[in-house]
Amino acid sequence: MSSKPALLRQKSFVCPVVRNPFSHRLHLNVFDKIRIVVMSLTIAPIRLLLAMLLLFPSWIIVMVALAGKNPLDQIPISGWRRSLKHILTLLGRLQFFILGFHYVTIKGQRATFAEAPILCFAPHTSFFDAIIAVILGLPSTVSREENRHFPIVGKLLDFLQPVYVSRTDQNSRITTIEEIKRRSQKGSNWPQIMIFPEGTCTNASCLITFKGGAFYPGVPVQPVTVKYNTDTVIWTWDGPPTFTTLWFTLCNFNNGIQVEFLPVYKPSQEEIDDPKLFARNVRSKMGQSLKVPVTDHTYEDCKLMQEAEKMGLPTEVGLVEFQKMLNKLGVRRETLAERLHEYADMAKSEGYIGLEDFAKYLNLPVSENLREMFDMYDRNGSGKIDFREYVIGCSLVAQPANNEETIQLAFKMFGGSKGHLVLDDLVQFLQGSVNMTAEECEVLFHQVDDQNTGRITYDQFKAYAKKKPEYARLFASFLEKADIERETKKEEGEEETKKDPERPSSGKKED
Mean pLDDT for 448-468 is 82
The residue length of the chain stands at 511
Q: 259 phi and psi, to 5 degrees?
A: -115, 120
Higher local confidence (pLDDT), 354 or 34: 34
Provide the pLDDT for residue 66: 87
Provide the pLDDT for residue 456: 87
Provide the pLDDT for residue 1: 38
Tens digits of residue pLDDT in 176-225? 888 899 998 887 888 999 999 998 999 999 999 999 889 999 999 999 99
Identify the band that residue 402 occupies on the pLDDT scale cut at 50, 70 and 90. Answer: low
What is the distance between the alpha carbons of residues 1 and 374, in angstroms, rounded to a whole number?
13
Nearest to 276 by CA among 177, 399, 360, 379: 177
- Tell me whether the omega of the peptide bond preceding residue 123 falls within 30 degrees of 0, making it cis: yes
For 238-251, b where at least 16 C-beta lie within 10 A, e where not — what string? Answer: bbbeeeebbbbbbb
Provide the pLDDT for residue 290: 95
SS3 (DSSP) at 212: helix
Tens digits of residue pLDDT in 131-158? 999 999 999 898 888 888 887 888 888 8
What is the distance between the alpha carbons of residues 242 and 76, in angstroms, rounded to a whole number?
33
What is the distance between the alpha carbons of residues 111 and 120, in angstroms, rounded to a whole number?
12
Provide the pLDDT for residue 289: 96
Provide the pLDDT for residue 473: 64
Mean pLDDT for 409-427 is 77
Mean pLDDT for 307-315 is 81
420-421/456-457 β-pairing: antiparallel
Q: How many C-beta atoms lie closer than 10 Å to residue 492's C-beta?
A: 10
What is the distance between the alpha carbons of residues 100 and 43, in angstroms, rounded to a whole number?
10
Q: 452 phi and psi, to 5 degrees?
A: 55, 45
Please check whether residue 182 is in contact with residue 75, taking contact to mean a CB–CB distance below 8 angstroms: no
Tens digits of residue pLDDT in 461-480? 888 877 777 776 666 666 66
Tens digits of residue pLDDT in 237-249? 889 999 999 999 9
Provide the pLDDT for residue 460: 85
Tens digits of residue pLDDT in 55-74? 999 999 999 988 888 777 77
153 burial via Cβ count (<10 Å: 0-12, 13-18, 19+): middle
The answer on pLDDT for 493 being more than 70 is no
In SS3 terms, 94-142 reads as: HHHHHCCCCCEEEECCCCCCCCCCEEEEECCCCHHHHHHHHHCCCCEEE
Provide the pLDDT for residue 485: 59
Provide the pLDDT for residue 499: 58
Domains 4-13+299-401 and 404-468 are alike in CATH topology: yes
* Domain range list for the chain: 4-13+299-401, 30-290, 404-468
Identify the band that residue 119 occupies on the pLDDT scale cut at 50, 70 and 90. Answer: very high
Tens digits of residue pLDDT in 317-360? 777 877 677 766 777 777 787 788 888 888 866 678 888 888 88
What is the distance between the alpha carbons of residues 334 and 332, in angstroms, rounded to a whole number?
5
For residue 186, the one-letter residue type is: K
Please check whether residue 26 is in contact with residue 248, taking contact to mean a CB–CB distance below 8 angstroms: yes
Mean pLDDT for 8-25 is 62
Provide the pLDDT for residue 32: 95
What is the distance between the alpha carbons of residues 505 and 223, in angstroms, rounded to a whole number?
78
**How much of the chain exceeds pLDDT 90, in percent?**
38
**CATH architecture of structural domain 4-13+299-401:** Orthogonal Bundle (1.10)
Please check whether residue 130 is in contact with residue 235, taking contact to mean a CB–CB distance below 8 angstroms: no
Asked if the 30-290 domain carries CATH number 1.10.3470, the reply is no
What is the distance between the alpha carbons of residues 313 and 293, in angstroms, rounded to a whole number?
27
| Max mean pLDDT range (4-8, 136-140, 387-391, 412-416) | 136-140
How far CA 135 is from CA of 27, 132, 266, 446, in Å, comes to: 30, 5, 25, 67
Please provide the DSSP assignment of 332-350 as one string.
-HHHHHHHHHHHHHH--SS
Helices (H), 152-274: 153-159, 170-183, 242-250, 269-273
Asked if the 404-468 domain carries CATH number 1.10.238.10, the reply is yes
> Taking the model in full, what pTM does it have?
0.74
The answer on pLDDT for 17 being more than 60 is no
Tens digits of residue pLDDT in 169-183? 667 778 888 889 999
Q: How many C-beta atoms lie closer than 10 Å to residue 307's C-beta?
A: 18
Helices (H), 231-325: 242-250, 269-273, 275-290, 299-310, 322-324
Provide the pLDDT for residue 221: 97
Provide the pLDDT for residue 346: 82
**How much of the chain exceeds pLDDT 70, in percent?**
83
Average confidence score pLDDT of the chain: 82
Higher local confidence (pLDDT), 478 or 451: 451
Mean pLDDT for 160-175 is 78
Identify the band that residue 509 occupies on the pLDDT scale cut at 50, 70 and 90. Answer: very low
| Distance between start and end Cα atoms, the chain | 44
What is the distance between the alpha carbons of residues 226 and 129, in angstroms, rounded to a whole number?
9
